[in-house]
Amino acid sequence: MAKIFPAISAQQLRWLLLLTTLLLTAGFITPMLTITKFMVINNSVSIVSGIWQLIQDGQILLFLIIATFSILLPIAKIILLFNLLHPNTTHPNRRKRLLHLMHDYGRWAMLDVMVVAVLIMTVKLGAIASIQVHSGLYIFGAAVLLIMFITQRVIQLNNND
């Protein structure tokens, strides 16, 4: 079977991961949606402002779920990827442990939770509000896709070693 993507070195993946980290950070703070209620009240929401609002509204469980899946797990996955791509991470047991961690916990992060959250919000507010999507959603989505791509390439690099 032919390879879809050309070979990428660990150094190139580190640079791509750095860019991804910047995109993810921008995705956290850039407005994703503007909610217009009753055609009068506008409220722009980013991930950070949204979870902050959840704390202020006393929605602790929802805050914990969204903060964990949309912020903490992506950051943890990036840290794991940086560790795997670090030139001094050569001990096979350490690499195997990091790959196991990334595989077990990384799949729970980001994209699916974000899509579900947007869908729930759209359905719940459809009758009384309209939602306009902004660049933050696309930036965050691009970061998620890049993390998925880098993860796959890191696994391939480690399987080739």
- By the 8 A CB rule, do 35 and 129 touch? yes
> Domain total for the chain?
1
pLDDT at 2 over 50: no
Q: Is residue 5 part of a domain?
A: no
Instruction: Residue 15: give the domain boundaries.
Output: 10-156
Q: In the numeric block, which tokens belong to residue 144?
A: 């998620």
Q: Is residue 65 part of a domain?
A: yes
What is the per-residue DSSP string for 76-91?
A: HHHHHHHHHHSTT---
Q: Is residue 1 part of a domain?
A: no
Q: Which of 31-40, 69-78, 102-111 has the lowest mean pLDDT?
A: 102-111
Which pTM was predicted? 0.77
Assign residue 106 the CATH number of its domain. Answer: 1.20.140
Contacts of 35 (CB under 8 A, 6+ apart): 42, 43, 44, 45, 121, 125, 129, 130, 131
Q: Hey, is 33 helix, strand or coil?
A: strand
